[in-house]
Amino acid sequence: MKHLKTFLVLALIVVANSVSAQSTFDKWPAIKEFHEVMSQTFHPAEEGNLAPIKARSEEMMNKAAMLLKSDIPTEFRTDAILASAERLQLKSKALHKLVKSNGADAAIVKSITDLHDTFHEIVGLCSDAKK
């Protein structure tokens, strides 16, 4: 019974976070577009396949730039979210530069992982802003 309760609480948290992220993506299309590129490049990189990020680092950089130029919903226009979005843009530029200069694979993985963490920081801040 105890395990069932723990499972139900965890399931509720996962569903709540999923709904929250979905709402963020619905309200802010530019973050959804960035996420599409991120998910299609980061997850393969986690498994050692760097071809997607090497092929799409410029696209990732451009999506991060568009994120800042987009019509950011008022509820997400907080200093923390804007600062994180600026870091996302800078980190995506650094990643693209690293890819273009044929940087070491380990450095590329570290860079995209850091970029991924920054993206999730923004999504988390958006969830906090809606509360």
Model pLDDT for residues 95-131, shown as the tens digit of each residue: 999 999 999 999 999 999 999 999 999 999 998 876 6
Q: Is 77 a residue whose pLDDT tops 50?
A: yes
Residue type, 69: K
- Whole-structure pTM over 0.85, yes or no? no
Number of domains present in the structure of the chain: 1
The domain that holds 55 is classified in CATH as 1.20.120
pLDDT of residue 7: 46
CA distances to 38, 106, 124 from 41, rounded to whole Å, are 5, 15, 21
Q: Give the mean model confidence (pLDDT) for residues 57-68.
A: 96
pLDDT in tens, 26-41: 899 999 999 999 999 9
pLDDT of residue 22: 58
Q: Which residues contact 116 (CB under 8 A, 6 or more apart)?
A: 38, 42
Q: Give the mean model confidence (pLDDT) for residues 9-24.
A: 50
Average pLDDT in the chain: 87
pLDDT of residue 46: 93
Q: What percent of the chain has pLDDT over 90?
A: 76
Domain carrying residue 29: 2-129
Q: Is 2 a residue whose pLDDT tops 70?
A: no
* Helices and strands, counts by H and E, the chain: 5, 0
